[in-house]
Amino acid sequence: MAKKKKTPDIVREQTEVIAEARPQYITDTIITNYMPYVMSVIVSRAIPEIDGFKPSHRKLLYAMYKMGLLKGDRRKSATVVGEAMKLNPHGDMAIYETLVRLTRGHDALLHPFIDSKGSFGKHYSSDMAFAASRYTEVKLDPFCNEIFGGIDKNAVDLVPNYDNTLEEPTLLPTSFPNILVSSNMGIAVGMASKICSFNLAEVCDGTIMLLKRPHMSSEVLLDVIKAPDFSGGAYLIYDRNKLAEIYETGKGSVKLRAKYSYDKEENCIDILEIPYSTSIEIILKNIADLVKNGNLKEISDFRDEIDKNGFKLTLDLKRGVDPDALMQKLYKLTKLEDNFECNFNVLINGSPKQLGVKGILEEWIKFRLECVRREKEFELNRVQERYHLLEGLSKIVFDLDKAIRIIRDTKNDKDVVPNLMSAFELDEVQANYIADIRLRSLNSEYIESRMEELSELAKQEVELISLIGSEDKLKAVIIEQLKEIKKKYGKPRKTEIITETEVIIKEVKPEIESYKAKIYFTDKGYFKKVKLTSLRMNDDHNLRDGDFIVKEQDSDNTELLMFFTDAGQVYKSKVDDFEPTKASQVGDYVSAKLGFEENEKYVGGISIKSEEDGGNIVFIFKNGKGVKIPLESYITKTNRRKLTNAMSTASPCVYVGYEKEPYDIMLVSENGRGLAVSTADIPLKTTRTSNGVTLMTLKAKNAIAKAENATEEKFGQYRKFKKSIPSAGAMLDKK
C-alpha cells in the first residue's frame, strides 16, 4: 500500500489563513488602499498651490536655480532634465514636457519662466512637436528673480527630497500672485483645476487695492482686474455677470473668439489669433467637416500658414462672399469661438479649496506676509549677529594696546580667546572675531568705519523689529514690491475685451449659385431638380414602379422649398440642398433627405423665391374642404428647418399649392365628378391648423381623389366645371 504524502507546512499554513479570512467591506478597502492614492494625486501632482506651481514645475525651476541658471549661458535641456530628476523621480520625457510648457518658445504663458533656444512647439498646435532635449538649450528667464527672491533667506520651508540627499522648497516665495498670472490646469481624482491667466499689471493693481482695502467686494476688484488675459490673444466677449460669478466663486466660463483680418486684394481671410482653449488642428477639422458635408460653400481653399512670424490660418473666399458674415457663421459652427471653463481649485495648506479671484488674492496675501516676515526675521538675525560682533570690537577700541599685549603675551593659541574674554567681558563669539582681525586692520580708518557700521546696524535692528511686528508695514513692503514688478514686467493686454454690442451680428447668407431648373414632385415622395441644359438632351423621366409626377414647375436654384407631411408638419429646405439630377434618374427620396419622422409621409410641396415674398399656401383636403393660409404664418424668428402644426390633420391633404395671384384648381372625386375652383374663392385663415370650408359637396363614402392645377391641356374646357361653391361638380368626360 502506497504511503500517504504529508502536506507541506507552508501549504497547511496558507490553508489555515484562508479559512480564517474574514470578509472586508468595500468602504474599508477604499479607505485603506484608494484614499492614500487619491490624496497623493491631489496634493503631490495635479492641483497647483498658492505660489501658482504644481510640484513638477516647482522642482524643475528650483533645480535650474541651484544650477545657477539665473545668470550665465544656457545649458542643454537634457542636462537640466537630468538635474531635475534628483528632485523629481519621474521619467525624463515627463520632466521635459513640463519644461517645454514653461518656455518662452512654447507661447503657453503670458510671462514664461524659461528663456529657450530651439524648437519647443506651440501650445496652439497639438501636432507641432518639440525637438529632443539634446538639441534645445535653456536658462531661467530674468522674470524668475521674482519667484526666488528670499528663498535663501528662509522665506519658505525646505524639506528633504525623495531620497534624503538634497533639500527642496515646499513653495516658492513668489513676490506677485503668480497663481493668477500663469494659467494652470490639472486633473486629479474626483476633482480638477483649471485656472485662467490674468494680466500681470492688473493683478498687481488689484492686489495693492486689496492690501489697502481688505473688505472691498469682488465687484470693485472687477473694475481693476478687468477680465482674464491669455497668451494666445483673441477677443474676450465681456459679460460682467459671468465674470462677477468667477471672481466670487471661482467657477464659470468666459467666451473667446478668434481675431481675423480680410485681405481684399487676395480675397482671403487671415485668422491671426484663436481661443486659448482650442488648437489649429481642431479648427481645421471643423472646417474640413463643414466643407465635406456641403455646409461651407463660401470658401475655395483653406490652409495652415504658421511660420516664424507666428500663427496664421488662411481661408480663400469665393467671389462675392461677405467675409464678416462668413466669420459669424464660422464662430457658430467651429471652435473659432469657444468657452474657457474656469474651475479655481487651489491647495491651501495641503487642502484643496475652490476660491474666487478675491479669495485667491486673500490667501496669497496671507502667504506673502509670512514669506516677507520670515525673510525680515532672517535679515534681523544677520544684523543682530553682526551687531553682536561689532559690539565686542567696541569694547576694545579704547584700549587696543591692552588687547594686543594680551594676545602677544599669551603663550598658547588656545588661551588667546579665554584671556580676551576675561579681560574685556566678551563672549566666545566676540573674542574669536577680535582674535581673527589682522593686525594691519587695527588702524583708525578701520575702527571708525566699524563703529559707524555698528551705529547703522542699531538703526536697522530697530527698523526690522518694528517692521516684523507690524502687519501694516509688512503690507507696505509688499505694495512697493508689486509696484516695482508692474513697472518692470507689466505688459499691455493680449486678449482684447469686446462687449456684446461691439460683436458684429450679420445674417449669414451663404452664396448659392443661381441657375434655372425644372423641379418635379412625385406621388411617392421623390423630388427631382433637373437643369434646363440637361433637360434639353433627354426629357424621358425614370420613376419608381407605380410612381408618377404630381407637380412640375420652373424654379431657380436659390428658391425655398416647403414639404408638407401627413403628420401636419412642414420641412423647409433650399433647392440648392438637392443635387441636380438627370431626367433618367429617380431623384431624392424626400423623407430620407430631410429626416422625416418614422412613418411620416410627404403629401405636397411648393417652391417660392423667399418667405418675404408674401402670398398664400392653398390646401385641399380629402373631405372636400379647402383653406388658404398666409405665407407669413410660416415665418419664424430663428432659422427653423421644421415646423409642427403646419396644417390641419382632420382630413388627409390631397393638394398643396402656392398662390401669389389667383388661379384655378380642378377637384376630382372618387366617383368621377369634377369641380373647378378659383383660389380667389377659397377663404383665407390665419390659423395654420384651420379646417377650411367645404368646396365640393360629397355623398357618403365618397371623397376627393385628387386635385391639380386646372389647365386646358389636362382637362380641356375645364371652365364648364366652374360652379358656385359649395358644389357637387359635374361628371367628367370618360376617355
Known catalytic residues are 135
The residue count for the chain: 735
Cell numbers at residue 520, please? 418635379
Q: Taking the CB of residue 281, how many other CB atoms lie within 10 A of it?
A: 14
**Residues 308-345: b if buried by 16+ CB within 10 A, e if exposed:** eeebbbbbebeeebbbebbbbbbbebbbbbbebebbbb
The number of CA neighbours under 13 Å toward the Cβ of 234 is: 31
Quick one: which H or E segment has residue 537? Answer: helix 532-537
Quick one: which H or E segment has residue 657? Answer: strand 653-659
The β-bridge partners of 271 are: 260, 313
Q: Taking the CB of residue 356, how many other CB atoms lie within 10 A of it?
A: 21
The number of CA neighbours under 13 Å toward the Cβ of 2 is: 3
What distances in angstroms separate CA 298 from CA 257, 317, 336, 561, 579, one per listed residue? Answer: 20, 6, 17, 21, 17
3-state secondary structure of 621: strand
Q: Taking the CB of residue 579, how many other CB atoms lie within 10 A of it?
A: 11
What is the C-alpha separation between 127 and 125, in angstroms, rounded?
5
CB proximity list for 404: less than 8 A, separation 6 or greater = 439, 442
Cell numbers at residue 228, please? 482674464
The β-bridge partners of 561 are: 573, 607
Alpha-helical regions (H) of 299-356: 323-333
What is the C-alpha separation between 662 and 674, in angstroms, rounded?
19
